[in-house]
Amino acid sequence: MDIWSGNMIIATTVQMLSEREMHQYVTDTEFAVANLLKLATDEEKLLSELRRALTTLEAKEKAYKWDFETSDMNDDFSDAYVMAAFHRMAEAHQAAKEIERRAAEIQAAVGAHQQATQAIAGGVLQIAKQGISLVFGKKSDAPMGRQIGALPIRDIIWEGRNQALHYEEANYKKGVKKVFTALEQDHGEHFSLESHGHQNRAKQILYVLGWFSFKDYARDMNELLS
């Protein structure tokens, strides 16, 4: 048996074991979680792509503008070259304006749907927390899972869900305050309950967990529940 065939057999065996060992709760929640995660991330991915495109076009517009302005002052350049430079600048400017308009539209849409997006992310945390509750009952009886900074993911999931559930009244219990203090220290001010106590932070929690797909969710939840 060559090395390639051996590696293929190992990879297939690992995949089969992974499928057999998948916790039933993780399997049962695949459809919901996969779709919720996609909804929670798609709009911002599109906006990021438009922002990158806008930056590229603005840089191109600037370069074409410099080309036109300098060629206009240089006797070595023909009128045809100057006109071509002008058209390149104008086309780049128009393209940048169109991307800017589209980016503004997407930005407005993201802003308008921000609460809904946070609620969607909160739904993922609710499903995850419910799985821990169903299998172990109390948080303290569940395994801690992998560590992210100063916190185990068990606590991030549990208290992140609680924050998402009670953000409107912002009357948080000790567990939420402890976890979010640690999150603020490790990941920045957007986890500050003083600054953002009345805002749902579920989407930020998903980013800390690294849950961008069902595969990410399944990896952690299978480890916690199995």
pLDDT at residue 8, as a whole number = 46
Query: Rounded to an integer, what is the distance from CA 106 to the centroid of its chain?
Result: 16
Share of the chain above pLDDT 70, in %: 73
Place of tokens 């009357």: 171
Reading the block at residue 148, the tokens are: 């992210």
For the entire predicted model, the pTM comes to: 0.67
Q: Are 188 and 174 in contact (CB under 8 A)?
A: no
Q: Are 225 and 23 in contact (CB under 8 A)?
A: yes
Q: For residue range 4-42, list pLDDT tens digits in order.
A: 444 444 344 334 434 447 899 999 999 999 999 988 877
pLDDT at residue 30, as a whole number = 94
In angstroms, the CA 181 to CA 183 distance is: 5
- Mean pLDDT of the 98-112 span: 66
pLDDT over 90 at 81, yes or no = no
Q: For residue range 142-188, list pLDDT tens digits in order.
A: 999 999 999 999 999 999 999 999 999 999 999 999 999 999 999 99
Whose CA is closest to 201, among 173, 166, 175? 166
pLDDT at residue 217, as a whole number = 96
Gyration radius (Cα) of the chain, Å: 25
Reading the block at residue 15, the tokens are: 């995949």
